[in-house]
Chains A and B, each alone.
Chain A
Amino acid sequence: MSHQSTDKAAATLGPQVVELPTRRTKDLALSESRRILPALEISMFIVAVLVPLLLQDYVTVFATRVLILCLFALSFDLVWGYAGILSLGQSLFFGMAGYGVALLSRDFNISSIFVVFPVGALIGFVASLLLAGFLLLGRHPSSIVFVSLGTMTGAYAADRLAGGSSYLGGQNGIPSIQLMTIGPYELNEGSTFYYLALGILVFVYLLSRFLLRSQFGLALAGLRENEYRIGFFGYKAQHLKAVIFAISGAIAGMAGSLYAFHEGFVGTNVLGVVMSTQVVLYVLFGGSGTLVGAIIGTIVIEALSFWLSNSFQDVWPIILGVLLLLVIMFRPAGLVSLLLSERERVGTFGRPGKRGKNDTA
């Protein structure tokens, strides 16, 4: 802004326009009409529906596990990508729910989906709410390091405790969980379980999308961008955080309970730091802050591991590691940023009218 333009500005009395010709600005200013996201979502859904029909059974079983992990990735994306809470202990909620439903099956002979699924969600919800009470709800906002180390310690401690508890099966975990049942039907691995997992994933995805596009989603965007600032508007930032943390815990719990029944056993690994780190990688790789990014990241990483471990048994972890590093170095916004502009990833919350409703991921 220079003094030379004062005459012109005085004539119009309007704001002086100085376009900053950075790449970011251009990207942000991209016309709203270029919407790729809905098409991307729909095509992914169609492919997902076709998977069991086109591929062999063992791939369907693998794909079911990927869908469950996608659900888990969504839960992490909600807290990190949308609310800026770095939870490095997301597996705590996933694993606790997994162990919880495994115990229901082992000790109480309960395997009906109508019980175990809500119970899994509830375990995740309650556990995350309790943890939020410790980590997020202080008089002063807690630092990102405090929260991430706190959650990570939680996951590590849970892993060790479960490994040392004979009631929980120690290092062996809880094997041979019954099959999940819907009324009289048993859910075997395979296409039925696949479609169940897909249905739940789509449901949770749509629910999250509704939540994130609401005015609550706008508040979360403010929280992520500048927690300190929005306090001065009157937002109770800690409450917002606790709410989204608990919702995400519930989703992780749902994923954990499905995972336990799908795999047929739970071990301490579902609680531990490795599982927590894995979900961070899924989301960073795919693109945090977009729901579709979390899904893409999970699918790509899992699919790569699947094929690479077949073809290049010895070197695949190295190849995968290098790929992850490259994406995080050169595409910090994740793979999804190759497809979607920043404008579309952030989306709008108020009007560009009714048609604008469709543009937050």
Chain B
Amino acid sequence: MTLLEVTGIDKTFGKLTALNNAAFTVHKNEFHGLIGPNGSGKSTLMKCVAGAENPTKGRVSFSGVDITRFSPAERARAGMSLKFQITNVLPALTLYDNVLLALQAKLSLVSLVFSRSRSTLHDRVMNMLEQFRLADRAYQPAAVLSHGQQQWLEIAMALAGEPKLLLLDEPTGGMSYEERRVTGELLRPIKDSCSLIIVEHDLDFIRDICDRLTVLDQGSVICSGTVQEIQASSKVKEVYLRRA
């Protein structure tokens, strides 16, 4: 079943064309990787999906709804969640509060003011923290975390609202080899409930975790397919070799 359908996306910044008629589809419970050389437009494409940028032309449809003009908050409410490339956890708040902040985002003002869900959300906050191996530091401020742990906390926050689609922009950026491996382990279980789009430089990581890949070069999609298909593609090799 198709969850996300991106068709005919153009994105220009002044005279610079970042995306040219880009299109790809993500199915339900699929882990989808966006890869390509530096400057190929994969991050921009991700931003157009997330609502951080508005495409100049084209259409993004999510669960059958045209969300091209939705604000980020509306997209989040429709079931989409973004983990930023640069960690954006709130350092002065505790880990617990960071996750709670993400969890309570869709509640009404009145229930926020009267803290109606503070106790009912407790278990879900702790579950998220446990899932990402951060539970023992729940009440410490996020500033004490290592870079890798901050990335995990970000992912936990992005997953907290039980999204249908999670967008991860370079989840393993700046991580050690070991941390990358653990990140892969942490992500795999979410497949039952959630689809994933990953933009990532680390091709080994992508190969380990993704079902299908879309390859971009110079703002255009050059091919989409399963990991095996992409590995076999001569076109993809050419792109990477030319740039190497």
Query: Which residues from chain A sit less than 8 Å from chain B, CB to CB?
Result: 1-3, 5-6, 9-10, 13-20, 24-25, 28-29, 32, 139, 211, 214-216, 218-219, 221-222, 225-226, 229-237, 239-240, 243, 342-343, 346, 348-352
Contacts A215-B118, A234-B161 known; list 20 others, CB within 8 Å: A1-B146, A3-B176, A3-B177, A6-B178, A9-B176, A9-B179, A15-B134, A15-B145, A16-B178, A18-B146, A29-B144, A214-B113, A216-B109, A229-B84, A231-B76, A232-B72, A232-B82, A233-B76, A349-B97, A350-B97
Contact status of A28 and B71, CB under 8 A, knowing A216-B109, A233-B105, A342-B92: no
Contact residues of B with A, CB < 8 Å?
50-52, 71-73, 75-77, 81-82, 84, 88, 90-94, 96-97, 100-102, 104-107, 109, 111-115, 117-118, 121-122, 125, 133-134, 139-141, 143-149, 152, 157, 161, 174-179, 182
B100 touches A233 (CB 8 A): no
29 A-B pairs in the complex with CB atoms less than 8 angstroms apart:
A5-B178, A6-B177, A9-B182, A13-B133, A15-B148, A15-B149, A15-B182, A20-B143, A24-B143, A25-B144, A28-B144, A29-B141, A211-B113, A215-B100, A215-B112, A221-B101, A222-B101, A225-B92, A230-B101, A231-B71, A232-B51, A232-B52, A232-B72, A232-B75, A237-B73, A346-B141, A349-B118, A350-B100, A352-B139
Residues of B within 8 A of A9 (CB): 176, 178-179, 182
Complex interface: chain A residues within 8 A of B118 (CB): 214-215, 349-350
Q: What is the predominant secondary structure among interface residues of chain A facing chain B? A: helix
A residues within 8 A CB of B134? 15
Complex Cα spacing A18 to B143, Å: 11
A218 and B122 contact, CB distance less than 8 A: no
A254 smallest CB distance to B (angstroms): 19
Point out the residues of chain A lying under 8 angstroms from B143, CB to CB: 20, 24-25, 28
Q: Nearest Cβ distance between residue B29 and chain A, in whole angstroms?
A: 22
Tell me, rounded to whole Å, the shortest Cβ–Cβ distance linking B205 to chain A: 16
**B residues less than 8 Å from A5 (CB atoms):** 176, 178
The reply to whether B146 and A15 form a contact with Cβ atoms under 8 Å apart is: yes
- Whether B94 contacts A348 by the Cβ 8 Å rule is yes
Considering the chains assembled together, what is the distance between the CA atoms of A218 and B97 in angstroms?
7
Q: Given the complex, which residues of A lie within 8 Å of B178, measured CB to CB? A: 3, 5-6, 9-10, 16
User: A346 to B93, Cβ gap below 8 A?
Assistant: yes
